[in-house]
Amino acid sequence: MSSTYQQLVDRVKRTIGSPRAQADNCTELQRQPDDSADDWARMLKDLGTVENVTMIPLDETGEHVRIRWNPEESMS
């Protein structure tokens, strides 16, 4: 795993783990200028394989997405 990809994943994990995101079961992710397009696409693909996670594109480029998850469904 490349270090740039790991940095991106770590940032996304912090965002998802934030108190507000955890309370809302939802957060928005936006590609930053220093994120490589390949890393971003890989992260979205990997995130799309997680059960009970829904990704909603917020722009036409796929660089701004809202993710939602349902913790109740993942516990059943």
DSSP secondary-structure letter at 52?
T
C-alpha 54/C-alpha 26 separation (Å) is 9
Domain count, the chain: 1
Instruction: Provide the domain limits for residue 18.
Output: 3-75
For residue 68, what pLDDT is reported? 96
For residue 75, what pLDDT is reported? 52
- Per-residue pLDDT of 20-76, as tens digits, reads 999 999 999 999 999 999 999 999 999 999 999 999 999 999 999 999 998 775 555
The whole-number average pLDDT for the span 4-22 is 96
